[in-house]
Chain A
Amino acid sequence: MLEIMKANNKKPFSLVDRTDPNLLEETFDYGLPPLVRFDGPIVESIDGKLVTFDPQALKTRELVITDTTFRDGQQARPPYTIEQMVHIYDLLSKLSGPNGVVRQTEFFLYTKNDRETLDRCRSLGHRYPECTGWIRANTMDDFRLVQEMRLAETGMLTSCSDYHIFNKLKFKSRQECMDRYCQVVDAAFEAGIRPRCHLEDITRADVEGFVLPFVERLMRMSEQVPEHLSVKIRMCDTMGFGLSYPGVELPRSIPKLIYKLNQEVGVPSERLEWHGHNDFHKVHINGVTAWLYGCDALNSTLFGFGERTGNPPLEAAVLEYIAIRGDLSDVRTETITELADYMRSIGMPIPDNYPFVGRGFNTTSAGIHAGGLRQDERIYNIFDTTALLGRPPRVAITDKTGADGVTLWVNEFFGLKGAQRISKIKLHKLARWVMEQYEVHGRLTSISDQELEVKTRELLPEFWAKYRG
């Protein structure tokens, strides 16, 4: 029932008193990322009509994550070595699990190294992520490359804003541009390759005047070929202009873009993909919004690393996928940490406060938070990061840490759980030493694990002997 906002919507509320906590565990099941639960339809106004979207469909549609770490991800850094890419691919496959949640990844094909990498990745024999290509499709030779590499699918540039059509690609008209793109798609069909049209700059394009007629033509062309060759559409939010909230006008509205392509042009959800950029800090939510409104594939890169401000972070998409589905779907989430460790080892910087994998993502330095963690780690930890990511919550030791934080650190250091945990009463000498570093010696930096380890051995010899002796 649609209700218009009135001047006064006030109603009375009464305290629901209880003596035991209601931890809302149907949403905050600590063993999973907090679940995404909907309690009604989503409404969007499109061309003057109120259209409802059923978010429960997210549980039954075949949502997938696709990867472009080796393509967009590599445009933002010096090239990976072949060995590095093969190892990353291997880990992506491990993360993906048997259901192919990370369904595809794409490769450049232009250099000998590009092609050798693809061969080496495929020789690992993994089913997922499936390997696809990425070509500029300026010449028919590009398709020969795809054919030679025996790829079933390739992405190709079909930029759709006038910024690209006229100012970059120098077409004389939109008609000339569309005809040229369709020629290239025909060439892909002839080569037996499924074309995935990358509609670059779609959030700055004339949707009614170019995008929809072009995609409609692609859908008609697809009717003439077997299903496995039918065109896929990647919506590329090249500059990060897309907006997730309802009521926004085209071309920036993600809900409207997807509705029009999916419902008015008839591109099936499984052939729609969203590719975002993070220029306005909206990259992850925009990707998830695309899932929500009917696009099944979310294109992403590991740790969001990509051109300029980057792409939807793959690891965040994986955790969101689990939160939407309500189960792990055989995804091996601990591989996220393995991937981050590997990326750091090859020189990719990951900020300490970066969600899920930064060194400090679940580290607290405030004593009051450490005290909460000590009593019940759920109070200040987002989910069971030990089980899902192999990353127990931690405390950084500073003047704000207090005895609670020191206690948490020591128990973590010795790996003690439950009744085994050492009380803070027994650790007061170490807590005092920490305090004096700041109060007496005027220290301004946090205390490293190495320093604390030395002091633990010195000030708590009985525990050291018991647990490390």
Chain B
Amino acid sequence: MATVQQRVVAVTARVLRLDPNTIKPEHHFARDLGAESIQSVELVANFEEEFGIEMDEDAALSVSTVGGAVTFITDVCKQQGIDV
């Protein structure tokens, strides 16, 4: 089973149309990966779908890096009883 990080990278690559091999945990979604405002919203929506979770909008949108997203999603999955 893929790890949270691998799934986050896959979603990010799909939404931002990037090669997954170029995405690193320290990458900033907007600054390094070029995510525009609407794409940030799409990322959060796709993470929710991928992991079957509901995230607080403001908290989710304040996460700025790939690694931060991995940590945030892992916490949310734990809180919502989702096995990852």
Chain B residue numbers with a CB within 8 Å of A367 are 37
Q: How many residues of B contact A (CB 8 A)?
A: 10
Whether A403 is near chain B, meaning CB under 8 Å from some CB there, is yes
A425 to B46, CA, bound (A): 9
Are B44 and A402 in contact, CB atoms less than 8 angstroms apart?
no
Whether B1 is near chain A, meaning CB under 8 Å from some CB there, is no
Given contacts A423-B57, A425-B60, contact A403 B37 (CB under 8 A): yes
Chain B residue numbers with a CB within 8 Å of A428 are 38, 41-42, 45
Chain A residue numbers with a CB within 8 Å of B44 are 425
Whether B4 is near chain A, meaning CB under 8 Å from some CB there, is no
Chain A residue numbers with a CB within 8 Å of B57 are 423-425
Q: Give the residue of B41, B48, B55 whose beta carbon is less than 8 angstroms from that of A431.
A: B41
Majority secondary structure of chain B interface residues (helix, strand, loop or mixed): helix
Closest chain-A Cβ to B12's Cβ sits at a distance in Å of: 15
Among A423, A424, A426, A432, the one with the most B-chain Cβ atoms within 10 Å of its Cβ is A423
Please name the residue on chain B nearest to A426 by beta carbon.
B45
Chain A 142-153 near chain B by CB (<8 Å), digits 1 or 0: 000000000000
Are A403 and B38 in contact, CB atoms less than 8 angstroms apart?
yes
Q: How many residues of A contact B (CB 8 A)?
A: 11
Chain A residue numbers with a CB within 8 Å of B37 are 367, 402-403
Q: A370-426: which have CB < 8 Å to B?
A: 402-403, 423-426
Whether A272 is near chain B, meaning CB under 8 Å from some CB there, is no
Are A402 and B60 in contact, CB atoms less than 8 angstroms apart?
no
Closest chain-A Cβ to B9's Cβ sits at a distance in Å of: 20
Are A425 and B38 in contact, CB atoms less than 8 angstroms apart?
no
A431 to B45, CA, bound (A): 12
Chain A residue numbers with a CB within 8 Å of B48 are 425
Chain B residue numbers with a CB within 8 Å of A424 are 41, 57
Closest chain-B Cβ to A31's Cβ sits at a distance in Å of: 27
Closest chain-A Cβ to B70's Cβ sits at a distance in Å of: 18
A425 to B41, CA, bound (A): 6
A352 to B81, CA, bound (A): 51
A428 to B42, CA, bound (A): 6
Given contacts A367-B37, A425-B57, A426-B45, 14 further A-B contacts (CB under 8 A): A402-B38, A403-B37, A403-B38, A423-B57, A424-B41, A424-B57, A425-B45, A425-B48, A425-B60, A428-B41, A428-B42, A428-B45, A431-B41, A432-B38
Q: List 8 A-B contacts (CB under 8 A).
A: A402-B37, A424-B57, A425-B45, A425-B55, A425-B60, A431-B41, A432-B42, A435-B38
